[in-house]
Structure 1
Amino acid sequence: MEGVGEPFILIDGAASPHGFALKPSQAFLLQGADVVFWVGPELTPSLAKPISSMATGATVVELMEAPGISHLALREGVNFDAHDHGHDHGEHHAENEHGHDDHDHEEHTEQDHHDHDEQAEAGHDHDDHDHGKHAEAGHDHDGAGDAHIWLNPDNGIAIAAQMAATLAKADPDNAATYKKNAKAFSERIESLEHEISNELEPVSGKSFIVFHDAYHHFEHHFDIEASGAITLSPEALSSADRIEKIRHRIEDLGVTCVFQEPQFEAKLVNVVLEGSDARSGTLDPLGTQLENGPDLYPNLLKNLSAALTGCLKGEN
């Protein structure tokens, strides 16, 4: 939208999407919206009803269904053993991408405000396809999984393309600007993707544990997958059994780093680190400290790469 206007962000800064409740002061944003972009009910189930009931005059775009999005299944166990390396192109993309007829959205939470902050949107026109209502009625993707789709840069490019096309149709006078912005964004992210690949390559064989399973899209794309997660969902307490299994995992694999997140207390991370030589680091899948705007998404990816390499190399 650069050069045309700025989007409104519903879930911003350090606000957690988990259990997010729309404030009365925010309702007018949905009521007056021409276009609403959201990842989908897998990420923010609490937004399904407000979008359905308030954004009645808007084109609603569910980014989990955007053309070109690569999907990954949720990892539910304590240990992540199925390391299917090889990036999410070709065969893996075909295996994991769901069709739009087999709907079975599982209401897993976790949201990301930056999808809304990038400058584009495309493809599906959802004027007659109210996703909020579908979500409330059990509109679920069959086997749909990890909703942190933006952490794969290829998905970020697909999201930008989806945004550009949608905005161009809603605002044809500025169509050329939206499409120009999307093209520039794509080129910027493709270049950054190569930089990150080179940065991560020296630490690709090291083991690490994440606070919760938010990074699979990033890990899989860059062939540097985590060995486990302390919790499946940050709003739910991990059981003593899960904590114990993670501690054994750290010991058995000689895990180098355990990563916490800035939105949540580090207590659980400190517990699993007790008695081990593993270091602690911080990964932020939402860019909570970053300023909204054209640099948010590239800086989010850069920060994830820097945090991983720094901790795994022992530099922070």
Structure 2
Amino acid sequence: MTELTAMQNARKLRLALAASTLLAGSALTAPAFADGPNVVTTIKPVHSIAAAVMAGVGTPHILIDGATSPHGFALKPSQAFLLQGADVVFWVGPELSSSLEKPISSMADKAARVELLDVEGIEQLKWREGDQFDSHDHGEQDDHGHDDHADHGHDDHAHDHEKTAEEHEHGHDDHDHDKDHAHDDDAHEHEEEHAAHDDHDEHAHEEEHAEHDDHGHDHGHDHAGSNDPHIWLNPENGIAIANAMATTLSEVDPTHADTYQANAKAFAEKVSGLEAEISAKLEPVKGQKFIVFHDAYHHFEHHYDIEASGAITVTPEALASAEQVAEIQSRVRDQNIVCVFQEPQFDSKLVNIVIEGSDAKVGVLDPLGTELANGPDLYPALLTGLADSLADCLKS
């Protein structure tokens, strides 16, 4: 090789290296998420708020869909795959779905994980004690939320709510509310689930096995002193959640920060615009007595200045005993309860039992929007739907 040829080859090599360095630098400065980050949410209302904040950027995934209850939810391998690939996870916290605490911590360990119960601006309310609320101050509240996302240890209780009337009268507890209709939003779910099965199936079963080991303990779990996790049913909390989501997404994906912030502002305006409408619907029925299936509506009641007379059960994990059912039956008759509300996630037999011998009507309250289509419009429809259900059933 001549000296001239060697010099020419060296020059070509330097140019090639320079070009590759330039391309690498361009890749580093390009948007990290051209189609938005991979966001995983748990329940439908949280998914709806995330969808509103992410509008125009991407679409979040949902773990707990349809009529599946977040209490005692069992993770599938395909859902474990979603968690492992998440850039951001938004969930209420272990107070609502304790069975997800370990999977989120272990499978989404590289993701930004936000417990919404703890975010700034959330109005906290303590769990009401017992199943009668009239004697309690439903305005009792805790400090506003904070940014401390410490892990909390909670026992998970999965019980079967499919009960016959005879079983309720004898106080048997065989409840199944894990009718898992949850599905994967990913268009390639079947391919991913097949690919993920070997890696995640054993892990998911180990998690589930560990959860079942906890069953039977703390059956009558005492919520006294802890905060009610149904925070999304207060529209002001919904706005605080949207703002927290916009902040987190802007940090993870700064390229679309302006869009996230603008979407959160638009969401707040839309939700605030519903206040007068909902208040007007509820005003004529204030003071009417009603009983709910479980104590999920404290945040909604407190915000709109209405109050349930009690609940058939404080939480779905601990259904009423035969003695409690008899007491509730007496209360429905003696206190002239206008309406007893069931929930679509759970069997209606218990509600039908407690209204026997009374003039009480049966209504439906749905804290999750189980029958509403997923998307940004679900959350406003959920709030107005609760108001409509209350107003319709409580009318004299």
Alignment TM class, shorter chain as reference: 0.7 to 0.9
Aligned equivalent of 1:280, options 362, 365, 377: 362
AA in 1 matched with 2:314: L
Q: What is the CA-CA distance between 1:252 and the residue it aligns to?
A: 2.5
CA distance in 2 between partners of 1:245 and 1:163 (Å): 43
- Determine whether 1:80 maps to 2:133: yes
Match in the other structure for 2:261: 179
TM-score, normalisation: structure 1: 0.83
**Distance in 2 (alpha carbons) for counterparts of 1:106 and 1:222:** 30
Question: Whole-Å Cα distance in 2 between the matches of residues 254 and 224 of structure 1?
Answer: 17
Unaligned runs of 5+ in 1: 87-91, 111-116, 118-135
Counterpart residue identity of residue 111, structure 2 = A
Aligned-pair CA distance for 1:194? 2.0
| Shift of residue 253, structure 1, vs aligned partner | 1.7
Compared with structure 1, are the counterparts of its residues 105 and 205 closer, same or farther at alpha carbon in structure 2 (3 Å cutoff)? farther
Residues 1:263 and 2:316 aligned together: no
Contact 2:128/2:136 (8 A) holds in 1: no
The whole-number CA distance in structure 2 between the counterparts of 1:46 and 1:157 is 26
Q: Is the 8 A contact 1:43 1:107 kept in 2?
A: no
Segment of structure 1 superposing worse, 95-104 or 174-183 = 95-104
Q: How does 1:84-99 map to 2 (within 5 A)?
A: 84=137, 95-97=142-144
Post-superposition offset of 1:105: 6.4
Relative to structure 1, the CA distance from residue 282 to residue 78 in structure 2 (aligned partners, 3 Å threshold; closer, same or farther) is same
- Output the amino acid matched with 1:5: G
Residues 53-82 of structure 1: CA distance to partner in whole angstroms, max 9, x if unpaired?
100110000001000101111123121124
How far apart are the structure 2 equivalents of 1:189 and 1:237? 34
> Match of 1:128?
none
In structure 1, the residue corresponding to 2:274 is in which secondary structure? helix
1:143 Cα offset (Å): 2.8
For 1:193-204, list aligned pairs within 5 A: 193-204=275-286
Kindly state the Cα deviation for residue 237 of structure 1 after the two structures are TM-superposed. Answer: 3.2
* Residue from 32, 46, 59 that aligns with 2:99: 46
Cα deviation 1:219-265 (Å, max 9, x = unaligned): 11111110000012224331011112212221222110000001111
| Matched-pair contact (CA < 8 Å) for 1:98–1:144 | no
2:339 partner letter: C
CA offsets 1:184-233 (integer angstroms, 9 cap, x no match): 00011111122111110110110000000011100111111100000122
User: Aligned residue for 2:334?
Assistant: 252
After TM superposition, list the pairs within 5 Å mapping 1:20-31 onto structure 2. Answer: 20-31=73-84
- State the AA in 2 paired with 1:51: I
For residue 122 of structure 1, what is the aligned residue in structure 2?
A: none
Give unpaired runs (5+ residues) of structure 2.
Answer: 1-53, 158-176, 178-184, 186-210, 212-222
Is the Cα contact below 8 Å between 2:120 and 2:144 reproduced in 1? no
Match status 1:4 vs 2:4: no
Instruction: Determine the structure 2 residue equivalent to 1:225.
Output: 307
Indicate how the Cα distance of structure 1 residues 195 and 244 shifts in structure 2: closer, same or farther if over 3 A, else same. Answer: same
Relative to structure 2, which stretch is displaced further, 285-294 or 95-104? 95-104
Percent identity of the aligned residues? 64
After superposition, the Cα gap between the structure-2 partners of 1:36 and 1:142, relative to the gap in structure 1 and judged at 3 Å, is: farther
The more displaced of 229-238 and 169-178 is 229-238
Could you give the per-residue CA deviations for residues 135-156 of structure 1, whole angstroms, max 9, x where no partner exists?
Answer: x9xxxx9932211000011100
With over 3 angstroms needed to count, the CA separation of the structure-2 counterparts of 1:12 and 1:193, relative to structure 1, is same
Report the Cα offset of residue 312 of structure 1. Answer: 0.2
- The structure with the larger Rg is 2
Computed over aligned residues only, the root mean square deviation of the Cα atoms, in angstroms, reads: 2.5
CA distance in 2: counterparts of 1:303 and 1:97, whole angstroms? 27
Q: Equivalent residue of 1:258, what SS?
A: strand
Q: How much does 1:102 deviate?
A: 10
**2:291 aligned residue:** 209
Q: 3-state SS of the aligned residue for 2:318?
A: coil
3-state SS in 2 of match to 1:4: coil
For residues 48-197 of structure 1, the aligned pairs below 5 Å read 48-84=101-137, 95-97=142-144, 100=148, 143-197=225-279
One-letter amino acid of the counterpart of residue 118, structure 2? E
Q: Distance in 2 between matches of 1:143 and 1:158?
A: 23
Paired amino acid for 1:193: E
State which drifts further: 77-86 or 33-42: 77-86
TM-score, scaled relative to structure 2: 0.67
Q: Does the 8 Å contact 1:37/1:62 carry over to 2?
A: yes
